[in-house]
Amino acid sequence: MHPHHLKPAVRLLGAAFVIAAAVGLMGQYGGAPEWWIADSGERMPLSAPFEDKTGFVVVYNANGEMVTKDHAFFTPMGTNGRACITCHQMSAGMSVTTERLQERWGVTAGQDAVFAAVDGSNCPSLPQSDRASHSLLLERGVFRIAQPWPAPGVTPEFSVEVVRDPTGCNTSEKYGLHAKSPMISVYRRPRPVGNLKYLADGNAFTADSRNTSLEMQAIDAVHTHEQGANLTAAELKQIVDYERQVYVGQTFDRVGGDLTEVGGPEGLGVWHLGRGKPSHSTDASFVTIANWKGRSSESAFRSSVERGSLLFSQRKFSITDTANLDHSTTHTAMQGTCATCHSEHMTGANTTQPWMDIGTASLPWAGDQKDLPLFKITCNANAEPHPGLGRVIYTNDPGRALVTGKCRDVGSLVIQQLRGLAARAPYFTAGSAKDLRAVVDFYDKRYAAHYTEQEKQDLINFMSVL
């Protein structure tokens, strides 16, 4: 390896030791594998840096180095060889990326547990040795989420018709809408397991908020994704305790330099996350960056990040037809900023109204994503309509409506946190934005923000250092 390739890692680790010493967090750094295999017994270090597209992301264990042998987060709890860590990889910001998934397919010829038929393939009925049967996971980083329809105890306000079914699962006699036990299959990215201390009361653990606590989410995940039985009380506590103390954040940028340096922006890096307190505000960005000085080689990028921070928190545009934003039921637009929805100060999630429809799943806003299923939702005449889409809606994912049965909830999905973004592309619930430029372009078009090219780049640079 050429020496210049080592410089970012050396600088990151050196800076990490400086910051750790300053706050009393000395411990072992590095050593975690790029792909963590369940039940491997690897030791989890205090802090593990991983290279990503723009620099390095760090996974930080506030409770220190730990043994993972027989730990329920790292050990298969079911029958398919998966553990929680399988779909929440540290090198991917505690999620998964298409790049890593494609590597695993090549290395294991598709035999890695992450590709388990239950949800790691487009449908369990497809030939599992065929790469095409796993195309949505490999190309979008999404897993199949099968929801009973209607949800138990719910009387729906709408009917569902399968318009397009490229995976075959929604029209399947065994897995589909008209099966003996009717189900609807949608395809979603795994939420990152990190910084969850700030989301513990925010119903933000699943895309449709069907699980409102870490305990519920862990039980559901073991049952469905690991195909396991009930967790013991000790196993459940072990998983939840781990999830509440692990933090994820970008820590080094190849252009901007060390994000944790003394005197730098207080909100950057992973270390401050373990010390911060949750707070909600729509008046300011969850990370404020100002007067960020550096060497001449870094200053232009840092100035761009500062501008992006201000754009995120202060640049207003018209937020229109967004269902469940303040429970809106009209077409009345509100003036807001990116921080209106991404308002939780430490993560950029939203803990007061976690789910809303920003348009990533439904036509016309989402575009025609032909590799995903398409559903026609026809709402009852007496149902409260979707504020932007009315009573006939075409969507790739009904979202929150699969839980509530409400017409107004069609397409509403939980607002995601923004930490560690550089490490976990692609973006949006269905993996429909391949990079941060695609994210900014979507919002620019959806809400007619009319960003200039410079403003777009400033926003991208800001998001890349989170």
**For 319-367, what is each residue's pLDDT tens digit?**
999 999 875 555 567 899 999 999 888 899 988 888 999 999 999 999 9
Residue 91 lies in a domain: yes
Burial class, 9, CB count within 10 angstroms (exposed 0-12 / middle 13-18 / buried 19+): middle
Token pair 């969507």: residue: 395
Q: At what angle do helices 436-446 and 453-464 cross, to 10 degrees?
A: 130
Residue 61 lies in a domain: yes
Closest CA to 16 of 244, 273, 259: 259
Start-to-end C-alpha separation, the chain: 28
Residue 68 lies in a domain: yes
pTM above 0.75, yes or no: yes
Residue 137 lies in a domain: yes
**For 125-145, what is each residue's pLDDT tens digit?**
999 999 999 999 999 999 999
Residue 223 lies in a domain: yes
Record the tokens describing residue 56, joined without a space.
């390095």
pLDDT at 291: 85
Q: List Cβ neighbours of 381 (8 Å cut-off, separation of 6 or more).
A: 391
Residue 332 lies in a domain: no
Residue 310 lies in a domain: no
d(CA 125, CA 307): 50
Token pair 């079914």: residue: 165
pLDDT at 27: 35
Closest CA to 287 of 339, 245, 351: 339
Residue 276 lies in a domain: no
Q: Which helix (H) or strand (E) holds 58?
A: strand 55-61
Segments of the chain scoring below 50 in pLDDT: 1-29, 282-283
Q: Note down the domain range covering 23.
A: 3-144+179-251
d(CA 90, CA 88): 7
Q: How many domains does the chain have?
A: 1
pLDDT at 331: 58
Query: In this structure, are residues 10 and 47 in contact, taking their beta carbons and an 8 Å threshold?
Result: no
